Amino acid sequence: MSIRNNDINIVTSNEQVKIKETDKPNQYLVAVDSTKASFVELEMWFEMEKHVILLYQKSKWVNITDVYPVKDNRILIDKVKLKIIN
């Protein structure tokens, strides 16, 4: 399974952050309107679709949904904190 052919969604709770997907798969532009915040946090969610992903941990195979947070058939694969420089 190639990650390039799957849906990665980037979300943020900050209303000042605008996220736009480009023409290239899984490439995004992130713009931040004027804000007093010094950091913004982005969450990377991976669309599971009908796939099952297993991770090898402590000599056992475990479902990725048992390891990472899940919401609406998506798994939270990472949180990225960006520093805003004016």
Number of domains the chain contains: 1
pTM of the model: 0.74
Quote the pLDDT of residue 65: 92
Query: Residue 58 is part of which domain span?
Result: 3-83
- Asked whether the beta carbons of 10 and 42 are under 8 A apart, the reply is yes
| CB of 44 closer than 8 Å to CB of 10 | yes
pLDDT of residue 71: 92
- The per-residue pLDDT for range 14-23, each reduced to its tens digit, is 888 888 888 8
> Residue 75: its pLDDT value, please?
93
Averaged over successive runs of 10 residues, the pLDDT of the chain (86 residues) comes to 62 86 82 83 88 92 93 91 84
